[in-house]
Structures are given as structure tokens and as C-alpha cells.
Chains A and B, each alone.
Chain A
Amino acid sequence: MSNNKKYWKGVEELNDSPAFKEVKSKEFNEYLPAEDFLGDEGLLENSNTSRRDFLKYLGFGVTAASLAACEAPVNKVIPHVIKGDKTNPGVANYFATNYSDGFDYCDIVVKTREGRPIKIEGNKKSPLTNGAINSRVNSSVLSLYDEKRYRAPQIGGTPTSWSKFNGTVKKKLSDALANGGTVRILTNSITSPSTKKLVGEFVAANPNADIKHVSYDAVSASGMLEANKESFGIAALPTYDLSKAKSIVSIGADFMNSFPSSLELTSQYAKGRKPENGWMSKHFQFEASLSLSGSNADVRMPMKPSEYGKTVAAIYNYLNGNTSGVAPKVEMAAKHLMANKGESIVLCGSNDKNIQNVVVAINEMLGNYGSTININNASYQRQGMDAEVVNLVKELKGGSVDVLIVDGVNPVYSMPADVDFKGAMSKAKTSIVFASRPNETSAEAKMVGAANHYLESWNDANPVANHFSITQPSISPLFDTMQLQDCMISWMGMDGNYYDYIKATWSAVTFPMQSKTLLFEDFWNTTLEAGYFIGKSAEMVAASFTNNTSTALSAISKIKSSALEIEFYSKVGIGDGNQSHNPWLQELPDPISKITWDNYIAMNPAEAKEQGFAIEYGEQKDADTVNISINGVNFENVPVIAQPGQAPGTLSVALGYGQTIGKSDEVIGFNVYPALKGMVTYSTDVSMEAAGGNYQIATTQTHQTVMGRTSVVRETTLDVFKKGDKDAYNPAHILATHEGPMNVNDVDLWAAHPVATAGHHWGMSIDLNSCIGCGSCVTSCNSENNVPVVGKDEVRRSREMHWMRIDRYFSANAESVEERNYGEMESPEDNPQVVHQPMMCQHCNHAPCETVCPVAATTHSNEGLNQMTYNRCIGTRYCANNCPYKVRRFNWFNYMGYDKFADLNPSQDDLGRMVLNPDVTVRARGVMEKCSLCVQRIQTGKLDAKKESRPVMDGDIETACSSACPTNAITFGDYNDKSSRVLAASQNSRAYRVIEEVGTQSNIYYQTKVRNVESNIA
């Protein structure tokens, strides 16, 4: 059939009128002036932008813009516009590096996603830190994305370019150096061999000038350094091995937190706390304020800080046979030390060289050097000598310093008021301060070098004589920033950059220490990958021990006490204040007081009651305020709280506060450094009076005791444990039924979830004996799971969002449930024993939350996980109410957008959002959330195993908390894997499940805490 039908578009086409033809011939129906324009040659010639020119300009513009967007090729980090080798979307890359800020040293691994560092974890392979990490280190990734960072160098407060900045510095330096001027470089304790070498070369290149590098620690260990210098001729700290020590005596040393090399000590400590080994270290703590270490001690004696010296002397004398007039607990400690010669350690937190001299002598007498203490393999993690710092200030005040360079420290903030560093600094002809964010010192500086974050920098470290590490960047600088070392290279007119310089140093210094690798490049690459290199430790040989205790003892006897003393300490989250702008750390509850977002004066509860101060605080209960004068420095209207364990007649207050945080301009807490006269860690010159005001305190835990609930926390003593009668320390829950006594787990209304037989059955085990309560897991979890920061006001309303929390219970005046003396059960003892209990979703196999959700938004996975489907959640909060562990967290607001959190929650701006883990959903308002056992990590682990066609191995998958735990208290694994550590732990005789009698059949086991005390003392 023919198919020649013609279809008309319209009647016009059918008619085919001339007018239609005319219209049809044109593409555009309306009148276009193009012909007029193009036809008129004059017009075209007269116009100075032709179409062709326009295209040329456009092309040029695009090319120029693209070119400008690309940096010149760098051999440091590949900017992520060009996809780098092995950086695949959705796949994380890990870089080994280290964290070294003069307060903490940690070998770390940085997780990056799509080129962004998002998570910091301990380097498990490091023989120094053993993978231990603390909150300060794992939260430091957030500081990288701090909205307030300097984005360019400044001269006189105005931003400028680096070429101008470096040019100006170079000129100032050459002017000064030419006239034999004085240059001072003030830094934190730098362990970097390359930096030290660079400074050395700078000094050597200018023999006529007076150049000096001064190390300064805000929290000084000068006393120990001096004591070691006098005793061994080495101005360094020793390295310790707490894992071998059977007797640990700490006098005011918070070795789990602020003591130098605390991470090393913490990980070693845990190894000596395993009762299954047949022995456990016995830990004595003598201190004024209840520290993290003190809260874990077996025997703790509160005392005034001025008595530390006398206690050390008493132990020394006791060991020398002078046993009269010694306090019972001191005697107990001394006896225990004598019984464990060569397997003990005495530590002291005092910054008095005389006291430290006696401590050295005690350890020497006990034969600990060579076994548990090693002075030959010295630690360089604190180098600040107070005398040198004082001398520098004197020089500055004299006006003799031409150029002052400050890096990594904030002396205007952290030096005592009587030093007046601000005034001294203003006398320097040129002051150059390197800082990554505006601080008190950079505000006073004539020139500010916008410093890199350490995750943007190349560096190296040598924290301990035999341990070397490379700091490698994991992202190219976000802003126009530079590190001091690169600037110095520029100032000195050297070729290359600091990266080349480090390589050269390593080629010359560390490469020859080994013989395994022939080529330096191979050595460099393997070290870079591993993150550390173990060199020769014999480099440093200590002089033999010089006993100078007689002078020290007589100096100690002159130490005066007073009726009221105050001790300065560093908090677990804030440390020396170097990172106090970090909202994650501010929101981390103090492990002892559980207070967030503040420092405060802590005092003994009995004394607080006597003086009429509120002894309960938190939520709507305000703390009272006091006016306090410390060493002549006045603090007005500061909060005072009652702290069980605080020695009578003493107060304590945390350093490091009084700075702004995040984007906010609000100052958090108050700065106590001005009162730190002479870098002494305490003061006897205190007077305090009630100010009559109220102060809102935010705490995550308002109830202090466990109310005798032995199903929540189980503890026993070593001798009871050793007898091996499980019922004595970890009895099973037996129910009286009509069929006779039955174990609670056998009485069940429910059908079991079929997780116990097939596939995986994830679970976790937490050893209360290893957990020290440091909170590293809390910040690690925040960082892994995008937990929002909610701020002080919301914490006061008990709405912190932490998925992982650490419950801290003080022992009470009464513990027996039978007596029902609830008033006494609620009040903590004056010198309480402390239990730290990590608490998060228990992933119950018979989960109360799952049954009550009307929309099945929370369900059980076939791998034993209690999982939360955010999309499905309508926010009835029924699940949270029905959770016996109260671990569910509700999104009360839109934390990502609501004004109230604009200054607090880093995720409210583009920069802060870069830290978010792309594997974890950011939860919407009105949705319930909780610990997922890091299901994203489980999935990754399973996928990796699948790609390699092998089963998931025990230890392949670590949750954020288990990986961050410095004491390995948390073990994650698969119960269906018969060889897994978690299965073994759950079958351990100490294993129990929290409130098992409720019948939740949780997947998280805890191990009973064992205290190394005689059961009758308890």
C-alpha cells in the first residue's frame, strides 16, 4: 500500500499563500536585526568588541581562571582537583603521622575520605604508644576546620602575602643580625630533629649574633628535668615501663592524663591490671584533687599539695629504716615498694626539683632504674626549663631582644601574671608569632604567621631517644598558611623546602642507624608508611647516679603548708588549653566531675557544706560563686563545686580555660595561668570568700552513686577473685519460680533471634578493670558518628547527644539495698572509690526499644545489632523511655541549622562540615539515634574480607570506641567466631551483663572490676 498521505501542519500550509511561504523561509518569525548589524560594515568596524573578540576574551578568561585555580605543581600533597593515585570516592585512605604539641605525643593514623582528614586514631603498630590515643589527640582533627583560623599572614594586623611577610622578616632579621643583634625563638617542646637542626644552622650561620631557642611548656616539668640533670647529668625525662611494675606509687602525678608521656604510661598501666595473670599492680595515689589516675588507684590518700614533698621524704626515710610517724597509707605504700624492689615505680607530679631529686633517689634505691625506668632511653616530651623562660622574659624586658619568634605556644595567655609576658613582648623590636588561630599572644604580635595545622605540615619527631617519626600532611593547606620551618628556610635564603630538608636530615641521621634497607628512598617510604622508626637508643648514656638527697630533703622540710591551698591541674579534655577552642573537647565531660564547658573551684564536700555552698549542682541547680585570690591574682564570681575526694583544706582548679571556642566570641571558664606563680603547681597563698552569686553548671551526670545496684556495676577485690569462687564476686541472677530456682536467661517469653547460629553475631566486651574513664572513646565516637555538639545550655537540660558515655560512680556512705537508707546511699564518701563504666547501646537481643516502636524504625539485624532506621523514625521517644540503659538520644532540634547552635556546632558551616564522616548519616530533627556499634565499619570490614575472598578475621573490625581505648578495655568482635577475643571475654568468670535480670539479653558484656586491696579494708 502506498503511504503517500500528506499531513498539513495547518490550513495555512494547505493554502500555501505567499505570506506563509515568506514566514516559512525564516527560522525565527520575529524580526532579527542581525542582517542590519552584520550588513553595516561601518558599524562593525566602529565597535571595539566584535563577536570574535568576545569569544577570544571568553576563551582567555576561562583558561586564565582555570590556570589560576591550579597551584603550581607541588610535591607535597596533590590538590584534590586532580584525582590522586588511590584516592577513590567512597574509599578511605590512611596516613601514618604523629601528634606532637608539646603536651601530648602520639603516633597516629589519619583517616581521609576524598582527600579530607576526618578521623584520627592511634597507630596500633607503634611500639611507643601502642595505639593509645586520648581525646585531645583524636579531637584535634576538628581544629583543622576551625572557622576562626588565620587565612593569611598579617603585618600590623592587616593580612598580607607570604612573599611580603617573609621579605619583611628577612629584612628585619638581616638588619638585626648584621649588628650582632639578639634573636629569640620561643617554642613548645620540640622533639623534631630537623627543626632542631634547622635552628642550629640558623645559629651557626650567624656567629656574631645572639640567637637562642627557648622551649617553654605551659605546664612545666622543669623540676623533673633539673632533678635528672643533677642526678644523671641528663636534662630529660626517663621512659617508664608500668606494665612491669607491681607497685605504683604516685604522689600528685596524674600519669594517665597530664603527666609527660601519659599515653605511653596509660597503655602500659593497663597491662599490669589483668587479674587473670595471677598478679595485679597495686596503685597508691597521694594527691589533693581527685585526678583521673587517683580515681583508678587501689589506695588513695587525699593530702595537701604542700605535703607531697613530705610524703616523698617519708617514703625515702621509711626505705632507709626510719619508720616512725608515718601515716598508715604511706607506710602501706612504702612497705609495698620494699616488697617489690626492681618492680615498682614512684612518680611525682611536683615541679620542685628537690622533691623530684628524692623521687629519683627512691627509684634508684628500689633498683627500678634499668628495669621499670630507663633514663638512657630518655624522653624529650617536655623540655621547658623554667629558668630559661624567666631569663628570656628578663631579656625582653631589658629591651635587648631585636626579633622574637614565637611558635606553638601562647605565653601571653599561659604565663603567670607576675611575669607580664605581654609587657615584655611589647619591648621586642620585632615580634613574630606563628599561630593557627588568633590567640592572646598573636594579638600582641607585630607580625603574625598564619601557621599550618599539623595535618597540613611536614615535620618529624623524636619523642624518645630511640623513637623517630615522620609527620606527614594528609591535606594541602586549606588556607594561605605556612609552617615556621618553611619560613625559616626562606629567611635563611636556603634552597628547597622543609620537606627536602627533613629528607636530608633523615638521610644523614636516622638512615645510618639501620642496615636493613640499602636505599634511602626505600627507607623513607617504609618509615613514612609505618609512621615510626626505631633507632639506636644507646646514643645517650647517662652519667652514673649522683645522690644529692640531703640538700633536697632539707629543702623539702622547709616547704610551708597553709590552712587553705589550691592545686592547679589539667583537665582530660582541655589539657594545657592548647585546644580549648575545640567544641568536642569542651563538651567532653570531665571524667571525675562530669562537668562540661567550664572550669571551677573544686572543694571538699564536707567543707563546702559547712561554708554553705551548694553541694548538688547540674541541671537547674546552680553552683554558688566565690571571689578567690590566688597568689595575689583575683578571680571574681567563679563557680565552686563540691568534689568528693578533694583533700580537706584544699581547692583545685583547672588550667587551660578562659578562651573563646569555635566560632563563638564567648569566653569559656576563666584563665588560672596568671596565678601560676613561678610555675609551681599549687599555691598556699589563697583566700576565698562567698560571692553570693549563682553560676549555671552543665553536667552530664547529676547522680553520683550506684545506689547499691550490684547488677549495674560489679566489683571485687583481688584476694576474693583469686579464691576463684565466681558466686562470691560475680553471682548469676537466679529467679525463684514455681518450678524452682532458674537462671534469668532461661526464663523467657520471647523467641530467640536466630543470630546465635548463622552468620555473624556482633558484640562487645568491656573490661571495667582496664577502663580508666579517660573519655577517649567518647570523642572518638563523636568524630566517627557525626555526633552534634549541643553546648552548655543543652547539657544543662540533660540533652547531650553522646552515643558513648562513661558513667562514673562514687562509693557511697551506705551501699546496702536491704537497709533502704537511700539518703545515705545517695551521698558519696568523702574519699570515695570510683568506678568508670562505659555505657552505650547494649544491642539487646530482646530489646525493649524494638517492641515499642510503632513504626518499626528500630529493629534487630540478623547479625545481632539493634539498628536504627532514621528515615522511618517519627520521633515518639517511646524507645528511649523503654530503654533500661537510657542510651538513646533524641534530636531535640535541628542541630545543623538552628540558630541556637550556630556558634557551637561546627557542622553549621561549610568548613566545619568537612570533618563529617560521609559514611554516617547526619540525623534530622525529631529523630532518635544511638550507638550503631559502628555499623559502617562492620560493613566496610565485611566488604574488604569479601573482596579478598576470606572470612572476616577477629580484629579486622574495630569500632571507634574500641580502637580509641588506650587501655584496650573495649573489645569488639563476632560471638559466632569461636576463636574471637570477644567470645572468650564473654565467657570469662568476671563477665556479666548490666541489669541482666531485666531479660534484655544484651550483646555487651562487662568484666567485673577487681581492686587490689585487702577485702577488709575496701
Chain B
Amino acid sequence: MHQEAAIREPLILGEKTYGKITDDVLDSVVGKAGRSWWIAFGIAAVMAAWGIGCILYLLGTGIGTWGLNKTVGWAWDITNFVWWVGIGHAGTLISAVLLLFRQKWRMAINRSAEAMTIFAVMMAAVWPGIHMGRIWLAYFVFPLPNQFGSLWVNFNSPLLWDVFAISTYFSVSLVFWYIGLIPDFATIRDKVTQVVPKKVYSLLAFGWTGNAKAWNRFEEISLVLAGLATPLVFSVHSIVSMDFATSVIPGWHTTIFPPYFVSGAVFSGFAMVLTLLIIMRKVMHLEDYITIKHIEYMNIVIIVTGSIVGVAYLTELFISWYSGVEYEAYAFINRATGDYWWSYWAMMTCNVVSPQVFWFKKLRTSIGFTFFMSIIVNIGMWFERFVIIVTSLHRDYLPSSWTMFHPTFVDIGCFIGTIGIFFVLFLLFARFFPVLPLNELKTILKSSGEQYKKVGTTTAEEH
């Protein structure tokens, strides 16, 4: 049994009982959707529909409907891909790594963070798909047996590693998330009365009985999956970064990329978790579970990863000068002072400078400010990928081929579309799934609940 110091701040506030936790969490599932949910869902659905329209137009007409050209072969497509994959990092990090480190505070946030991960990785996977000139032949990237004998995929290609890395990460994350959901589905199953939802939730609950053996297995499999998922957290973005790091393009060809990308991913993932949770705790009245303490912890992670990213930026600059390679030097001078200087400085400001304000406790415990910063960080991280991809490509070796990239409405539409689809999925999750791991939360109620901490203190004094 977990022992926790009584002087540690409680993780669950308010006078909670087991029954109260269940009610708080399942309010949204059992009850009717509120007006604000419908408004949010409506907006997200419109964005999603617009995006799907743009994607269909893209697939019907050709990649030329984007603003790419002979020199800039990737721009918003892969920027968005890396951005979404990065966002998809926080969930597994929170649930797996923090589980292994026995960080109990993760329990308030891990369910929705994992959901966000799943949806973000799904949105990320859209991009390599639709950026292909011939998506109908996308199955070529799988090492499938075929009638051509030796015709096989190219295992040298980082893009192929991506296929494996992302699909593995997605499947492990999905399984991990789902396993965690099973006891909670069972709770819902037992609570709902309508016929159809009951049937659906029974199916989803996989016949969970909640006996001790089941809980024992649940804990074991959670640990095993956490052990599996932890290296994936680091491998996925490392491999994504190798798309660039293994190339010959100045600005891409950088050995620092794997750790730099991973910390950037955690950075943006936590920011996105914050964006979502700050709204969710308000709308779903979960302030007692997702507390200022959680927000502060996450802000600390943001300072740390943001600073790592900042060091990486400076290292890149230093190496570009130290290497003595004129192309490298030019690539970085061009980033900072060339036609895309504004994106570089947007990145620098959003990712390196602004998170430093979280050194002030007052700011990192301010909900409004944190929400604002979480948006800033995600903008900054989008620009980071844009800077790496577009400003490196647009001026590489031969000046004759230097061009600019100009996005079209389809570029913008597809991006907005993935944001829309993401929110549609997340809102559906918030409406129909338990947004907190209510059964797991109950395990810490006695050690980290406010009321019990009070009791514990008194007991101690009594002795």
C-alpha cells in the first residue's frame, strides 16, 4: 500500500467519497449534454467537415492544390504531421513514465491525456497519408509479399521507420488506454439504465467483474504496458526527427535532433494537455480532481522541456558556425534573418522566452495565464516544425532553385480540418467516456484525498 506523507498537499480536494467520485466523473456520461458541449461540438464539426472537403478536393485533384513547389516538397503537411505527433507524446508519457515513477498525481490527467494522444496520433497519421501523391498505393510502404519477388520496402528510409514507429506507438497507446478504461466502462455499465447504452458499455467493459484477481491482472498489465510504452515515447519522436537528421539538407542534417525533438514533443504535448484540461475541468466541474497543483506540475515540465528546446536551438546555431560549413552557416543565418525571419522569431519567442515566466510561482499557478501560455507554446511548436522544414528546404545548396512557399486555401483547410476532427473526437470522448480514471482515483482517495489528509493529521496529533 502506498504511503504518503501527510504534509504533502492533497491530490483530491473536497469532501469526497467513493460514490461522490463516481458521480462527479460520470455526470457527463449519464446525464444530458450541456449547451456548451453542443456549441463546441458544432464548431468542431464544421471545421472537420471543411477539412474533409479540402482533403477530398486534394485527393481528387492532386497535391498541386497545396502550395508546394519543386524546391519545397514538404511544408504544412509534414509540419502538421510532426506537430500532431509531438502533441501525441504527453499522454503516454504521463500514463506510462509517470506510472513507472509512481507519480500519483498523473491519475487526474492521464485518461484525457491518453485520449488526446490517441486522437493526436490519428490526426498525425492523416498527414503522411494525404501528402502522398498516390495515396491509393499507400500499402506499398508495408513490407507485404508480392508477385515481384525481391521487391521490398527500403529499410534505409526513415519514412519507413516512421511507419513502424507510429503504428507501434499508436497500437500500444490505444491498448494501454483501453485497458485503463475497462473498469470504468464497467462502472458506467452498472450505472446506466437505458437499454442500448447498457449493451454498448457492457460490450466495452469486456465482462469486468471487479474482483481482486481482475484488479491484480489489471495492475500487472498496466505495468507491462507502461514498460513497453516508455521506450516508445522516446523512440517515436526520435525516429520522426530522423526524417530530417539523416538527410543532407543544411538545417536538417543535425545529430542533435532526436533528444531535441523528444523534449519538444513533451513540451508541446503538455501544452496541449493543459489547453484541453483547463477547459474541461471548468466545463465538467472537475476542479477538485484537476487542481492547481496539477497545473503547476505540468507547467514545471513545460519550463524544463522548453529550456531543453532552447538549449537545442542555441546548440544548432553554435554548431552551424563551428562546423565551418558555409551551407550550414547560411541555413541558420537565413532562418534568423532571411525571408522567413518572422517564423524563426515566433518560434524563439513562443518556445524559449515565454515559458521562462513560469519561474514565477504566481504565474505558473494562474489558470488563465497558463491557458494563454499553452496556446502560445503550441503556436511556437508549430512554427518550430515550419522553420525546420520550410526554411531549410527553401534555400539549400543551389541558389538557382531557391523559392518561397505560399500556402493555399487547401493547405489551411486541411490543417483546420484536422483540428476540427481532433476536437470532434475529443468532445465525443468527453461526452461518452469517463474522462478521469475514476476507479484508479479511488485508490488514492484514502492517501491523497483532502478529507483523509485532514483526518490523518488529526490522527497523528492524537498519537
A residues in contact (CB < 8 Å) with B: 619-620, 701-703, 705-709, 712, 794, 797-800, 805, 807-809, 817, 820, 822, 837, 839, 848, 851-856, 872-878, 880-882, 884-886, 888-894, 898, 924-928, 994-995, 998-1000
Q: How far is the CA of A889 from the CA of B133 in the complex (A)?
A: 12
Q: What band does the interface of chain B fall in when counting residues whose beta carbon is under 8 Å from A? A: 35 or more
**Contact: A853 with B330, CB < 8 Å?**
no
Q: How far is the CA of A87 from the CA of B135 in the complex (A)?
A: 42
A893 and B62 in contact, given A874-B132, A875-B132 (Cβ under 8 angstroms) = yes
Smallest CB gap from B243: residue in A? A878
Q: Which residue of A799, A925, A999 is within 8 Å of B70 (Cβ)?
A: A799
Q: How far is the CA of A703 from the CA of B400 in the complex (A)?
A: 6
5 closest A-B pairs by beta carbon, nearest first, are A875-B133, A926-B133, A892-B64, A807-B400, A877-B73
Chain B hits for A809, CB < 8 A: 399-400
A620 and B134 in contact, given A851-B156, A854-B163, A926-B62 (Cβ under 8 angstroms) = no
A797 and B69 in contact, given A851-B157, A854-B159, A885-B397 (Cβ under 8 angstroms) = yes
Q: Which residue of A855, A892, A898, A995 is within 8 Å of B397 (Cβ)?
A: A995
**Contact: A797 with B133, CB < 8 Å?**
no
- Judge if B5 is at the interface, Cβ distance under 8 Å: no
**Min CB–CB distance A837 → chain B (angstroms):** 8
Q: How far is the CA of A512 from the CA of B346 in the complex (A)?
A: 83
- Judge if B67 is at the interface, Cβ distance under 8 Å: yes
Q: List 21 A-B contacts (CB under 8 A).
A: A619-B403, A707-B399, A709-B399, A797-B69, A798-B69, A798-B71, A805-B400, A851-B154, A854-B163, A856-B151, A874-B138, A875-B134, A876-B131, A878-B157, A884-B249, A890-B133, A894-B62, A925-B134, A926-B62, A927-B134, A995-B397
Smallest CB gap from A790: residue in B? B64
Chain A hits for B69, CB < 8 A: 797-799
**Contact: A855 with B141, CB < 8 Å?**
yes
Chain B hits for A852, CB < 8 A: 156-159, 246-247
**Contact: B140 with A872, CB < 8 Å?**
yes
**Contact: B399 with A924, CB < 8 Å?**
no
Q: How far is the CA of A885 from the CA of B249 in the complex (A)?
A: 10
**Contact: B62 with A619, CB < 8 Å?**
no
**Min CB–CB distance B295 → chain A (angstroms):** 40
Chain A hits for B248, CB < 8 A: 848, 882, 884, 998-1000
**Contact: A853 with B157, CB < 8 Å?**
yes
**Contact: B134 with A856, CB < 8 Å?**
no
**Min CB–CB distance B168 → chain A (angstroms):** 16
**Contact: A889 with B159, CB < 8 Å?**
no
Smallest CB gap from B156: residue in A? A851
* Residues of chain B from 151 to 170 with CB closer than 8 A to chain A in the complex: 151-154, 156-160, 163
A805, A808, A924, A926 interface centre (most CB from chain B within 10 Å):
A926
**Contact: B63 with A892, CB < 8 Å?**
yes
**Min CB–CB distance B389 → chain A (angstroms):** 9
- Judge if B137 is at the interface, Cβ distance under 8 Å: yes
**Contact: B133 with A619, CB < 8 Å?**
no
Q: How far is the CA of A799 from the CA of B330 in the complex (A)?
A: 25
Chain B hits for A999, CB < 8 A: 248
Q: Which residue of A706, A794, A926 is within 8 Å of B132 (Cβ)?
A: A926
Smallest CB gap from B141: residue in A? A854
- Judge if B184 is at the interface, Cβ distance under 8 Å: no
Smallest CB gap from A869: residue in B? B151
Smallest CB gap from B338: residue in A? A822
B residues in contact (CB < 8 Å) with A: 61-64, 67-71, 73-74, 128, 131-135, 137-138, 140-141, 151-154, 156-160, 163, 243, 246-249, 326-327, 329-330, 333-334, 337, 393, 395-404, 406
Smallest CB gap from B133: residue in A? A875
Q: How far is the CA of A240 from the CA of B221 in the complex (A)?
A: 90
Chain B hits for A799, CB < 8 A: 64, 69-70
**Contact: A882 with B249, CB < 8 Å?**
yes
Chain B hits for A998, CB < 8 A: 248, 397
A809, A817, A851, A892 interface centre (most CB from chain B within 10 Å):
A892
Smallest CB gap from B248: residue in A? A848
**Contact: A884 with B403, CB < 8 Å?**
no
Chain B hits for A1000, CB < 8 A: 248
B153, B158, B401 interface centre (most CB from chain A within 10 Å):
B401
Chain B hits for A853, CB < 8 A: 154, 157, 159
**Min CB–CB distance A860 → chain B (angstroms):** 12
**Contact: B131 with A881, CB < 8 Å?**
no
**Contact: B73 with A878, CB < 8 Å?**
yes
**Contact: B70 with A800, CB < 8 Å?**
yes
A873 and B134 in contact, given A702-B402, A809-B400, A884-B396 (Cβ under 8 angstroms) = yes
Chain A hits for B159, CB < 8 A: 852-854, 876, 878
Chain B hits for A877, CB < 8 A: 63, 68, 73-74, 131, 133
**Contact: B154 with A856, CB < 8 Å?**
yes
**Contact: A854 with B153, CB < 8 Å?**
yes
Chain A hits for B406, CB < 8 A: 619-620, 797
Q: How far is the CA of A707 from the CA of B395 in the complex (A)?
A: 11
A712 and B249 in contact, given A886-B70, A898-B62, A927-B134 (Cβ under 8 angstroms) = no
Q: How far is the CA of A807 from the CA of B63 in the complex (A)?
A: 26
Q: How far is the CA of A884 from the CA of B248 in the complex (A)?
A: 7
Q: How far is the CA of A705 from the CA of B330 in the complex (A)?
A: 14
Q: How far is the CA of A807 from the CA of B402 in the complex (A)?
A: 11
**Contact: B397 with A712, CB < 8 Å?**
yes
Q: How far is the CA of A712 from the CA of B330 in the complex (A)?
A: 15
Q: How far is the CA of A839 from the CA of B70 in the complex (A)?
A: 14
**Contact: A702 with B403, CB < 8 Å?**
yes
**Contact: A926 with B247, CB < 8 Å?**
no
A807, A839, A848, A890 interface centre (most CB from chain B within 10 Å):
A890
Chain A hits for B132, CB < 8 A: 874-876, 926
A808 and B74 in contact, given A620-B406, A855-B153, A856-B151 (Cβ under 8 angstroms) = no
Chain B hits for A705, CB < 8 A: 399
Q: How far is the CA of A703 from the CA of B243 in the complex (A)?
A: 27
Smallest CB gap from A826: residue in B? B399
B61, B73, B152 interface centre (most CB from chain A within 10 Å):
B73
**Contact: A881 with B141, CB < 8 Å?**
no
**Min CB–CB distance A926 → chain B (angstroms):** 3
Q: How far is the CA of A703 from the CA of B248 in the complex (A)?
A: 21
B151, B326, B399 interface centre (most CB from chain A within 10 Å):
B399
Given A890-B63, A928-B133, 16 other A-B residues pairs in contact with their CB atoms under 8 A:
A620-B406, A702-B404, A712-B397, A797-B406, A799-B69, A822-B337, A839-B400, A854-B140, A854-B157, A854-B163, A875-B133, A876-B132, A881-B74, A884-B396, A886-B71, A886-B397
Q: How far is the CA of A64 from the CA of B52 in the complex (A)?
A: 58
**Min CB–CB distance A107 → chain B (angstroms):** 33
**Min CB–CB distance A712 → chain B (angstroms):** 6
Q: How far is the CA of A851 from the CA of B154 in the complex (A)?
A: 8
Chain B hits for A888, CB < 8 A: 70
Q: How far is the CA of A875 from the CA of B402 in the complex (A)?
A: 21
A799, A852, A894 interface centre (most CB from chain B within 10 Å):
A852
**Contact: B400 with A820, CB < 8 Å?**
no
**Contact: B400 with A701, CB < 8 Å?**
yes
Smallest CB gap from B392: residue in A? A881
**Contact: A807 with B398, CB < 8 Å?**
yes
Chain A hits for B396, CB < 8 A: 884, 886
Q: How far is the CA of A497 from the CA of B67 in the complex (A)?
A: 57
Q: How far is the CA of A808 from the CA of B151 in the complex (A)?
A: 41
**Contact: B247 with A855, CB < 8 Å?**
no
Q: How far is the CA of A496 from the CA of B68 in the complex (A)?
A: 60
**Min CB–CB distance A143 → chain B (angstroms):** 28
Smallest CB gap from A801: residue in B? B70
**Min CB–CB distance A735 → chain B (angstroms):** 10
**Min CB–CB distance B401 → chain A (angstroms):** 4
A839 and B398 in contact, given A822-B333, A874-B133, A884-B249 (Cβ under 8 angstroms) = yes
Q: How far is the CA of A855 from the CA of B157 in the complex (A)?
A: 8
Chain A hits for B134, CB < 8 A: 873-875, 924-927
**Contact: A706 with B71, CB < 8 Å?**
no
**Min CB–CB distance A331 → chain B (angstroms):** 36
**Min CB–CB distance B199 → chain A (angstroms):** 42
